[in-house]
Chain A
Amino acid sequence: MKRAQITAEIVAYVGFFLVFLITLSFYLFNAFNTDLKNQQYLRARGAAEQIGNYFLLLVNSGEGSSINITLPPSIFSSAGAKKDYYILISNNGWLYIVYKNPSGQTFSQEDEPMFSYPIGFKNFVCKSSSTLNPSCIKSSNILIIDPSKGWVFLNYSSNKIEVE
């Protein structure tokens, strides 16, 4: 009788700790995923702030100024390498750093917006001289900038900013 009781208690204890461990595992797994997302967000935010500050410097310097921005290598890989992020400039005056879906080869609606930065300037255009593989593409009200070449050149004249 006593032995049977002890066995039942042990089963109950083990069951309880099993439930506890499973719950803890789920919690830790979720926390790990959240950390991963946070890490992506922080990298995008750091890059967006760095790039956004250069954009602001140009916007506030006024017409006749230009700037060549070296993109932070932490998230924008060099030419030919894998591109994880895109830069988008919307005609509402905001800059977006967008994480590229690893499965997608080009920018698509499935890409997840990661960080936005207010610029306060609405008239951005791609430089008119077209090449076979332009790094700046206008798509409806958004400029899509491919960062793989490692730099972006901006020129402020005639009330607009040309992006190259």
Chain B
Amino acid sequence: MTKNKKKGQYFSADVLVAVVIFLFSFSVLLNYWHAIKSQSSAQKDFLYSEAIRLSELLISEGDYNVSGKSTKTNYVNWYDEPESAAKAGLGAKGFKNKLVYEGSFTTANRPTFNTPKLYLVNQKDDPYYKSLKALFGTYLDFYVDICLYNLAAFSSGQKSCNLKKEFGLKPTTAEDVFKVRRVVYSSFSPFGSGTSTQQYVGYMDIYIWQSK
């Protein structure tokens, strides 16, 4: 081979074609990476905003007169019939961040956050859990952990919860879990004369996650 022939081979068309194909493939790959990154970021933003929204929903007042069925002596609460209820919420009327757990239980089925109707489920196909998700307006999975301390005991250094309530589905197999903590308080007046109102303070953790 002569020197001229080598130069001709170096600048030949196949090199140009190879460069064009490489640049095209590289730009497609860059686009793909960018799309994946944007999608992941958008998904995380959505999970976080859902956690905030659910926490706001739960500290506001719920529907304690589902379909107008409640009477003066018997309540029909949103957690009794989530399919028919207008709204979920554990807040006390007129008090921001105060959970419903008050007064003497002289009326039946009085609203309380500590109801056994709200419970932990083992699987996401649980019908009650699904109806709660529909009422909350979310297709994501949720888990709520409420821990309240007796104010007097908490002031003297007690660490364990006096009142604990968990409901929803615990995140065990999730890729992304978002947690929002809200400071809440409540009060309870035991039935009977001469018993003083007990004050509680603590937190409500809301976990939002999406199962694989």
Which residues does A use to contact B, with CB under 8 Å? 9, 13, 16, 20, 24, 56, 59-63, 92-94, 118-123, 159-160
Binding site of A, secondary structure by majority: helix, strand, loop or mixed?
mixed
Q: In the bound complex, what is the Cα–Cα distance between A159 and B86 (angstroms)? A: 7
State the Cβ distance, B88 to closest chain A Cβ, in Å.
7
Further contacts, 5 of them, CB under 8 A, given A60-B57, A118-B50, A159-B68: A59-B87, A60-B60, A93-B135, A120-B136, A121-B137
The answer to the question of B65 belonging to the interface, with a C-beta cut-off of 8 Å to chain A, is yes
Contact of B87 among A13, A16, A24, A121 (CB under 8 A): A121
The answer to the question of B44 belonging to the interface, with a C-beta cut-off of 8 Å to chain A, is no
State the Cβ distance, B56 to closest chain A Cβ, in Å.
5
Q: In the bound complex, what is the Cα–Cα distance between A132 and B59 (angstroms)? A: 40
Interface centre among B53, B85, B93, B94 (most CB of A within 10 A): B53
B86 touches A123 (CB 8 A): yes
A118 CB contacts on chain B under 8 angstroms: 50, 53, 136-138
Contact of A9 among B13, B17, B20, B87 (CB under 8 A): B13
A121 CB contacts on chain B under 8 angstroms: 86-87, 137
Binary contact track B14-58/A, C-beta < 8 Å → 1, others 0:
000100100010000000000000000000000000100110110
B17 CB contacts on chain A under 8 angstroms: 16
Residue of A nearest to B27 (CB): A27
Contact of B137 among A20, A60, A93 (CB under 8 A): A93
The answer to the question of B61 belonging to the interface, with a C-beta cut-off of 8 Å to chain A, is yes
Q: In the bound complex, what is the Cα–Cα distance between A120 and B137 (angstroms)? A: 5
A56 CB contacts on chain B under 8 angstroms: 53, 56
Contact of B60 among A59, A119, A159 (CB under 8 A): A59
Given contacts A92-B137, A93-B135, A94-B137, whether A63 and B61 have CB atoms under 8 Å apart is yes
B13 touches A13 (CB 8 A): yes
State the Cβ distance, B139 to closest chain A Cβ, in Å.
9
